[in-house]
Every structure is written in C-alpha cells, then in structure tokens.
Structure 1
C-alpha cells in the first residue's frame, strides 16, 4: 500500500532552507571562532578549549530540557514552529556578540565575555532553534520516504550555507577592514541573512494535527510526563543512545578536523584559501550524494545498510587521504575531499529519518510520543560533539605550542595539525561504522508493528 503524501516541492525546499539559516551560525562558529580568538583577539587556545568544554556541560543538559518543553507546547502554529521562529532572533544577537569581543578590556574580562556569549548562543538559542527545526521531520509528515527527502533537502541547505560561510568569511573580513571590525561586520551580515531565511522556512510548512500524528488514538498528554520520566524513557531507548553517540562522534570529528583545517592549510600548506576550495569540493559531492539518498533508501529498503556500506568505504578513503595529508599535498587534498564527503553524506540525508524511527520505536513500546525530546539527540550530538571537538582542538594546539604570532610553526606543531586534520577522522569513522552495524531500529519497528497488528486481529 502506497503511503499518503503530505509535502510538495515548495514545502521540502522551504524546510531545507532552515538548515541554510542554521549554518550562518554553526559554520561561522565551528570553523572560525578559534582562529578569530587566537589570531585577532590574542586569547590562549588552551583556555578557550577549556571554557568551551565547560560551556558544553550545560549545553548537553539544555538539549534534553528543551526537547521536553517542546513536547508540552501547544499553539495554533504547532509545537515546533513558534520556537524555531523566535529563537533565531537570539541566535542573531548572540552570534554578533561572539564576534564583537571588546579589545579594550582586560584579558580576564574577555574570557568571561566569550564564555557568556558562547553559552547563550549554544545552550539557549541554538538549542531551541535546532531541536524545533529537527522535530519538524516528525511533525509535518508521516511518510517515511518524505522524511528521508526532508533530510536530503535539509542537508543540501546546510551544505550551501556552509559553502557561503567557508568561502567568503575571510574575504569579507578583509573587505570590511580586517581585524576585530572586519569580523564584527561579517557576523552581522550572516546573522541578518540567517534571520530572514529562517523566517521563510518557518512559514513554508505546517504541522499536522496531533490526532493525526497519534494515528487517531487518544493518548494522555505529554504534559503528564515529568522531566525525569522523559529522561528515563529516552535513555532506555537504545536507539536514542546510539543516535546521540553517532551524531556526537561525527561532529566531534568535524569540530577537530574542520577547526584544524584552516590552521593546516595556512601553516602546513602556506595558503589559507585552500580551505574554502576544499569546502566547495565537499559541498558539490555532498549535494550529489544527498540527491541520490532517497532513491537509494527506496531501492534497498534499509537506511542502516546504506549508511553502513557508505561509511565502510569512507573509512578506506580517509586512510588514503591521511597519506596525502602527511605530505602536505594541498591540491590533491582539495580534490580528494569530494570523495571523502560523498562517502559519508548519507548520514546527513538519512539521520532525521532514523530519529523519527527511534521516536516511533518509543511510541510502539510505551504508547507515548516524545518527538521533541527524541530530537534532542541531534542538537545534543551536534553541539556537545562539536564543542568537545573545539575544546580538543584548543588543547592540542596548546600542547603543540602553537604560536599565533609566528609565520611558520614548529615541526611538532605541523605534525599535530596533520593529525588533527586527517588522523583523528580515521579513528572516529571506525567507531561510527561499529554503531551503524548495531543500529537496527527499522527492523525492530517492523517487528513491533507486526506484533501490534497480530494482537488487534
């Protein structure tokens, strides 16, 4: 029996633009905040890394808290859209504040300022925006193929946003005078672009009535589920645990490798512009892969098998990539990064669909829908993983005695940059392959639905 269709092309493109807006914030922070702080403001990489990690301890808690709040939200606009709309205002203000650290105050005051701005951006505003946006996958369609398509459009939006930020940030900083003033102006422009696009995304879709989401079954409201019970339900869902760890590892890898990339190309290869070229190559390959993802899922009938196969190939590609990184062969690295991205792009195109499957698993097991809380794994994994990655980057740079005032770095520091850029991803990709091997939520749901139908008949 063919599944009912809920979305048209406008809905899918509009939804996908939400991640374009999100990447005005995420890409700016993950790729450039460290080099802005060390090379423009003059802050110590090790201290920055520690502050980021401390901030992420509160960030991880706020993800689950907000997911629980979203499950209790009931408005005419729905559960998620009001939060997605309002939270981006805070995103814009906090992004500008983060890249406008006053240069005339003392060093201690600068660290305090950074910590407050960074924590507000990540633990409050980005958390609310990202979880609400992710939860829409379950709230605007029940069609499994459309959920995969939404993941594809979402990550195409993310990829285009990442291309814009990665290629034009340094150019814009210099165009607007360089130094602290250039960074502040650039942040303002990206904040405004993100605010406009996010608003368009919110009004391009509509959430389904709760009765339809519940398959016509009247279930006691999630208002009666306390935070501790919500937390217990989440942690007892092994697939939630796997998905949270999967995203954490992936974004930890990206936090370290992409954070190191700008340093690697600047100091090991002698040209920071290779970074933007690498991201562009990655983006082209990712879009190709993401466009293919829905048809692959439809053909092989298993998101897990597709991801497992792609990431096994990705592991081999990353090992070869590391060999070229050791020789600092920038042109080959730029070209080959397209293959790196192509062989891991299925995570972006299918992850939301897997989270929806995990939410269905909870519903089938307990009779309680916790879509907002379930999608906290995406925000938790992205921000905690990225935060740990950024913190680790700061500590490793400090351990390698990185000197922001030097035109060239020591041999030990150069080797560390290579390890961060290409070595750590090999280790983490192996762990991701193992998790996908265990992630059989689709099979589990098929079995639970069959058992339910058998009981009803």
Structure 2
C-alpha cells in the first residue's frame, strides 16, 4: 500500500511536462529488452547455440518461474527502501546499466562444446537477465503511483508510457530482422538471415539504446509520495494474504494467465513461422507490424465502450474474437501472404481489451477494501505482473516443447513436414485454445459499472469520515466505527 504521509486524501499537484515526457523513455528502453527477448531468444537458443528445443523450454520455464516468485518480494522491499533519490528511482538508475550488460550476455554464447555446458550458461545468464529486468522495470512501473496523487495525472502518465511502448515495438518489428541480416559475419549466413555475430551486435545496439532511456526517466522524474511508518510495518505475509483472498483480483489473474500463455508462446515462435513456413525471416517485419498496427488502432477506438457495455463483456469479446482469428490463421495463414497480413491485423485489433484488463485491477482493489477494509494496491499490481511472468514462462516453454515433440532441429537447413506442423500448432492453434479458455474466469466477474459506482461512493464516505476522526485525535478503531456510522446514515438518507 503506497499512500502519501501528508494530505493523504487530497489530489497532488500537476506533474511538470518535463517529467511526463521523461516518464515515457524508460518504457521505450524497456521494450528493447522485453520484446526482443520474447521474440528472438528462443531462436538464438535453438538455431545459433544449438540447444535442443525441449532443453531451451526448460530454461525459459525455470527462469520465468523464479522471476515471477521474486516479484512480490522485491516489490515489498522496494516500497520500503530509503535513499536520497526516493524508493524506486535508485533501482531504475543503478539497475539499468546492469540490465543492459545482462542483455548482451544472454545473447552471447562463449562455449562451443556439448549442449549441457551451453544450457548451463544460457540458464545462468537468462535468470540474471530476468532478475535485473524486475529490479529496473518493476521499480519504473511503480513510479507513476508515487509521482502524483491525482488520478487524472496518473492516467496521462500511463498513456504517455503506452506511447513509448508502441513506438519501440514498431521500430523493433521493422529493424530487427534487417539488422540480424546486415550484421552477419559471412555471406553463407545470409541465407539463414542471422548468425552468432549478428545476434550479439544487434543486442549490443539495443542494450545501448535501453540504457540512456532508463536513465532519462530515473534522473528527471521525482517521487512525491511516501509511506507512513505504520504502513512500512505491515508484514509481508498479511499483504500477500489480502491479495490472494481477493476473488475478483484472481479473476483478472487467471484471465491474463490463460490469454497471455498463448500470446507469449506465439510471439516466441513467430520468427520460426516466418522463416520456415513463410520462407523468409525478413517477413517477420511485416507480419508483426500488421499485428502491432491492429493493436494500436483497436486500443484507441474500443476501450471507451467498456463503460457502456461493461468491462467483462468487452474482455469476453476480445478473447473470443482473438481465438477465432487465430483459428483462421492456423488453417489459412500459410496459403497467402496478403491473407496472413489481414488476419494478423485483425488479431492485433482483437487485443483492444488490454487497457481494460489493467483497469479491472483497481476495481478489484476497491472491492476488497470495501469488503474488508484492507487495501493492497502495490501488491495487487505485483500479482498481476506475476500472472504475466508465469504466462511468459509456461507459454514460451510449452511452445518449444511442442516444436521439439514434432521433430524441430535448429541445426538442419530444411525442416520436416512434421516440424512445420509443430510450428503452426505452437504459433496459432495453442494460442487460440488458450483464448477460448480465458472466457471461463471472466464468467465470475461481478463488478459491473453500476456496482463499482456504488462501491466508490461508499468508500469516499468511509474515507472522509476516517480522515476527519483521525484529525480529531481519535484512535483507528474509533475512526473506523465513525466511518461505518457515516455510511449507515448515508444509506438511511438515500432510502428516505
């Protein structure tokens, strides 16, 4: 729980324009790490380092599960850090250089012997990369909540953050395949579209882009909200228990876990799909750009309808339409490039509900505060991050397991028809099935617009009464009793 020690219920001052613009840079840099790793590390392991697909899947699974488990613990530690720069900024400023170094190490294979030695190196460097990414990026993500208390300003900050994300992904979708091809060590490697040298140099470039982007944010923004001594003493176990007991938050957790399981697995194998099924790794630029453009347009046009149609209904429409489009790609995507690009655009467009899913988290937090009096904003967002990490781990590993089962071998110049089938299943059929399964937890969401309006109004009454009582020197128990009394009086006057 992160609230300001002074004037806890009043809106904060407007964030200066310099800080707003600076806030987008770390997200821009972050995507040069996150998106690149998600899209290309699997290919580096299987086709450059020649680690068997199943072994590479185990590495991804191990690293991401460990990464997800540490999220809650590091979030708790960062919230209670004391320094001249604040609680979160030092992890952004000093974590960024180490993150850039770990990025380069993850795409560098110094060993040329047995696959076990290479697998151990890959596991160590990837676990290190995941840990340092959590240190820098989770701290960055927490900054919007401590830069201002004004909810409108926070919306603007996250909107600016999204601009940085989309800009970086568009650049990488186009640039990465061409950089990998341009930086190869020999003409013989041009047929493949990449080699060890081109991977190393491309990731070195991206790490050098990410570093100053993180530093611009860490140096230029300011933290204005601190925790009270009482809030710092809340034990970790109590906070986690409150989160796990929030049934509505668990709906969001499992929805994202299922949906992102398919999405992250798909992103990881699209380079294989373009290289082996479509015939050229350079097609990755157009295929992923079509997806990205569809996502941007869908995200701009459709989320506002959530207030009228309901967040659950919009989420269900999103995952259902996404599953249908993926089924079409599975059956018809390899027949015609134009058809595939149109379907890729539609699949991206079907992801319009991503901002809606994130907006369901504070609804769940408000619901639990209304129900129990306990509020756990920071740990709740860390829990959602945990679902993302687990989905990335399991989805990416499962995709590699499928490819390995169907006989994929990165050392071959031509893949068998069975291996091509495995790639298509991992890229499209499995994500389609997971999209359909994501409908199930949404059936248990009960916080519609009318319900949330009532909960928000009642919380405001309780908070105001508590603040007034505490200002008069009353104990916390007395303040809570007065808040309940004020709420009951409000209900009585409403009925009258």
TM-score by length of 1: 0.87
Gaps of 5+ in 2: 1-10, 186-194, 463-483, 490-496
Equivalent residue number for residue 194 of structure 1:
210
Larger deviation, residues 6-15 vs 191-200: 6-15
1:398-426 deviation digits (Å, cap 9, x = unpaired): 10111223333222222221111111121
Change (3 A) 1:369 1:222: farther
Shift in Å at residue 374 of structure 1?
1.9
1:271–1:392 Cα change, 3 Å: same
The structure 1 residue matched to 2:222, chosen from 206, 211, 216, is 206
Deviations 1:218-244 (A, max 9, x none): x76332222222221111122332333
- Which residue number in structure 1 is paired with residue 326 of structure 2? 318
Q: Distance in 2 between matches of 1:411 and 1:121?
A: 35
In structure 2, which of residues 242, 253, 257 is the aligned counterpart of residue 248 of structure 1? 257
Separation in 2, partners of 1:272, 1:102: 25
Q: 2:352 aligns with which of 326, 341, 345?
A: 345
Cα offset, 1:95, TM superposition: 0.6
Q: In 2, Cα distance between the equivalents of 1:439 and 1:14?
A: 36
Q: For 1:295-444, what aligned pairs fall within 5 Å after superposition? A: 295-296=304-305, 300=308, 302-325=310-333, 327-347=334-354, 349-441=355-447
Judge conservation of contact 1:163–1:276 (CA < 8 Å) in 2: no
In the alignment, structure 1 residue 96 sits paired with structure 2 residue 96? no
Quick check: 1:52–1:390 contact (8 Å CA) kept in 2? yes
How does 1:6-85 map onto structure 2 within 5 Å?
Answer: 6-7=14-15, 11-75=19-83, 77-85=85-93
**Match for residue 172 of structure 2?**
165
Q: Is contact 2:22–2:217 with CA below 8 Å preserved after alignment?
A: yes
Whether 1:273 aligns to 2:282 is: yes
Deviations 1:27-79 (A, max 9, x none): 11111111111111111111111122122332221011112113323445443
Change (3 A) 1:232 1:84: same
Quote the offset at 1:196 in angstroms.
1.2
The answer to whether structure 1 residue 292 and structure 2 residue 301 are counterparts is yes
Range with bigger deviation, 416-425 or 372-381: 372-381
2:255 and 2:439 in contact (8 A); partners too: no
Separation in structure 2 between the aligned mates of residue 12 and residue 440 of structure 1, nearest angstrom = 35
Please report how far the alpha carbon of residue 205 of structure 1 lies from its aligned counterpart in structure 2 after TM superposition.
Answer: 4.0
Larger radius of gyration: 2
Distance 1:398 1:280, change over 3 A: same
Q: What residue number does 1:227 align with?
A: 236
The structural deviation recorded for 1:112 is 1.1
Distance 1:148 1:82, change over 3 A: same
Q: 1:11 to 1:338 in 2, by over 3 A?
A: farther
Larger mean Cα displacement after TM superposition, 269-278 or 97-106: 97-106
CA offset digits 1:146-191 (Å, max 9, x no partner):
5555444333322322232332223223322342222111111101
Contact kept, 8 Å, 2:303 with 2:353, in 1: the verdict is no
The total of aligned residue pairs comes to: 444
Give the drift of 1:127.
Answer: 1.5
CA distance in 2, matches of 1:28, 1:277: 16
Q: Does the 8 Å contact 2:72/2:382 carry over to 1?
A: yes
Specify which of 192, 200, 204 is matched with residue 184 of structure 1: 200
Which sections of structure 1, spanning at least 5 residues, go unmatched?
212-218
Taking structure 2 as the reference length, the TM-score comes to 0.80
Q: Distance in 1 between matches of 2:71 and 2:105?
A: 22
Does the 8 Å CA contact 1:222/1:368 hold for their aligned counterparts? no
CA distance in 2, matches of 1:396, 1:235: 32
Q: Would the aligned equivalents of 2:53 and 2:401 in 1 still touch at CA under 8 Å?
A: yes
Contact kept in structure 1, 2:50 and 2:411, CA below 8 Å: no
Give, in angstroms, the shift of residue 105 of structure 1.
Answer: 5.0
Query: Which range moved further: 249-258 or 110-119?
Result: 249-258
Corresponding residue for 1:215? none
Q: What RMSD in Å do the two structures reach over aligned CA positions?
A: 2.9
- Indicate the structure whose relative CO is greater, using CA pairs within 8 Å and at least 6 residues apart: 1
| Aligned-partner Cα distance in 2 for 1:360–1:266 | 47
